Amino acid sequence: MFDGLKDKLSGFREDVEENAEVEENAEVEEPAESDEPEGDEPVADESAAAESPEADHVAESDADAAETAASGGSDDADDDNEPSTFQRAKAFATGRIIIEEEDLEQPLWDLEMALLESDVEMSVAERILETVREKMLGESRKQVETTGELVESALHDALLDVIAVGQFDFEERIAEADKPVTIVFTGVNGVGKTTSIAKLSEWLADRGYSSVMANGDTYRAGANEQIQEHADRLDRELISHDQGGDPAAVIYDGVEYAEANDIDVVLGDTAGRLHTSDDLMAQLEKIDRVVDPDMTLFVDEAVAGQDAVNRAKEFNDAAEIDGAILTKADADSSGGAAISVAYVTGKPILFLGTGQGYDDLTLFEPEELVESLLGED
C-alpha cells in the first residue's frame, strides 16, 4: 500500500542528507588525508588541506571565517557557498543542525514533482512543501541530532498537517449518537459503496453494534440481488423496494425498521452517480430532507488518485459529506488520494478499504499512515 509514495519520500530524505553531508565533508578536510596523496591530486590541494582550520579552532566571526577559508587559496574554490564556519560552530554548540535554504532548493523541487507524480493535489503538495521548509529552516523547529531526523520530523509534521484535517473518532461518534444512527453512502459507479456497507456492518458487529442495510440503489438492475447476497452471508436484515422505487423511501423504511427492532445503525446504499447528474443529485437532496441522515459518507477508490480527489470535492460541494471511505487502497501505490482528500474537502477519511474480504476495512489513523509512509520497511 502506497509504496511508490513511500519511496519518493525516502528519496527526499536521502537528497537532503546527501547535500548536508557533502558540505560537512567539504568543510572538515582532515590534514591527515593528504599524507598519502592519491597520485593525480594537484599540489595546490595539499597546501589547502594543510591550511584548513581544525574543528576546535573555530573562527570567531563570519569575517574571520571567510578570511580563513579564502586563505586556503585553492583553485577549486568550492568553499565559496558554504555556510560560515561560525554558523556551524554555533549550531554545534547549541546542538542544532543548520540547513541552508539553498541546500533545500533542489530536494524540495524534486519532492514537489514526486508528490504531484503521486497524484497529490497541487494545493496539498504546496502546503506540504511550505511546512517542510518552515520546519527545517525556521527557528521553531525541534531539537534533533541528525539531518535525517530533522527531515523526518519535518515530513512527519507536514504530512500529518494535511492528512489529519477534520479527523474525528468514528467509533466514539457512533457510541455517543442517539440510535439508530443513519449513514448514507454516496459516490460514483463501481467504487465499492455496496462492498463497504457490508464491511462496515461487519466492523460494527465486531464492536457490538447491530445494523440493518437499506438499499437506496433502486436504479441499477441487479442491485437488490447483489446487496441481498451480502446481507445473507452476514446474516443481516436488508430493506429494499422494487427497482425504480424512491431511494428516500427505502432508507426511511430502514430507519423505521431499526427503531422498531432496536437496531443501532442504518446503512443506506445509493446508486452510483456523477455529481453532474441532476436527477440523481436531486435524489440525494431528497434523502437528506426525508431521512436527515446522521452521516453522509463519500466512497471512492484510492486507485483513482487525482480523480477521486476532484470527485470528493465536487460531491462535498453538491451534497455535503461528513467523511470519506477510500477503497482499493490495497491496489494503490501512489497514495495521492489518501493524502489529499481531507485537506481538499475539509472532511476526514474515516476508513480505508484494503481488499475484497469483509474484514478488509481499516479505520483510518492519520498518525499511523504517516509513520508507515516514513517507516523503514
Ligand X SMILES: Nc1nc2c(ncn2[C@@H]2O[C@H](COP(=O)(O)OP(=O)(O)OP(=O)(O)O)[C@@H](O)[C@H]2O)c(=O)[nH]1
Q: Is 359 in the site for ligand X (CB under 6 A)?
A: no
Pick what 131 binds: ligand X, Mg ion, none; C-beta below 5 to 8 Å, kind-dependent: none
Binding mask 251-290 toward ligand X (x if CB under 6 A, else -) reads ---------------------x------------------
Q: Residue 12 or residue 358: which is nearer to ligand X going by CB?
A: 358
Q: How far is the CB of 223 from Mg ion (least distance, A)?
A: 6
Q: How far is the CB of 280 from ligand X (least distance, A)?
A: 11
Give the footprint of ligand X on residues 305-344 (CB under 6 A): 327-328, 330-331
CB of 194 to Mg ion, least distance (A): 3
3-state SS, 57-116, equals CCCCCHHHHHHHHHCCCCCCCCCCCCCCHHHHHHHHHCCCCCCCHHHHHHHHHHHHHHHH
Q: Taking CB under 6 A as the rule, does residue 354 contact ligand X?
A: yes
If contact means CB under 5 to 8 A according to the sort of partner, which of ligand X, Mg ion, none does residue 149 touch?
Answer: none
Number of residues in contact with Mg ion under rule CB under 5 A: 2
Find the shortest distance in angstroms from Cβ 301 to Mg ion. Answer: 13
Q: Which residue, 193 or 236, is less far from ligand X as judged by CB?
A: 193
Report the chain's C-alpha Rg in angstroms.
Answer: 29
Q: Which is nearer to ligand X, 270 or 345 (CB)?
A: 270
Q: Tell which positions 186-245 bind ligand X, by CB under 6 A.
A: 187, 189-195, 217, 220
Asked if 362 touches Mg ion (CB under 5 A), the answer is no
Nearer Cβ to ligand X (117/330): 330
Of 254 and 353, the one with the shorter C-beta distance to ligand X is 353
Three state DSSP letters for the chain: CCHHHHHHHHHHHHHHHHHHHHHHHHHCCCHHHHHCCCCCCCHHHHHHHHHCCCCCCCCCCHHHHHHHHHCCCCCCCCCCCCCCHHHHHHHHHCCCCCCCHHHHHHHHHHHHHHHHHCCCCHHHHHHHHHHHHHHHHCCCCCCCCCHHHHHHHHHHHHHHHHHCCCCCCHHHHHHHCCCCEEEEEECCCCCCHHHHHHHHHHHHHHCCCCEEEEEECCCCCCHHHHHHHHHHHHCCCEECCCCCCCHHHHHHHHHHHHHHHCCCEEEEEECCCCCCCHHHHHHHHHHHHHHCCCEEEEEEEHHHCHHHHHHHHHHHHHCCCCEEEEECHHHCCCCHHHHHHHHHHCCCEEEEECCCCCCCEEECCHHHHHHHHHCCC
- The piece of 46-54, 141-149, 183-191, 280-288 that touches ligand X (CB under 6 A) is 183-191
Among 25, 94, 123, 356, binds ligand X (CB under 6 A): 356
What character string, x for contact with ligand X (CB under 6 A) and - otherwise, covers 59-88? ------------------------------
**Count of positions on this chain that bind ligand X (CB under 6 A):** 20
Among 194, 201, 224, 240, binds Mg ion (CB under 5 A): 194
Q: Which is nearer to ligand X, 6 or 273 (CB)?
A: 273
Q: Which residues bind ligand X (CB under 6 A)?
A: 187, 189-195, 217, 220, 272, 327-328, 330-331, 353-356, 360
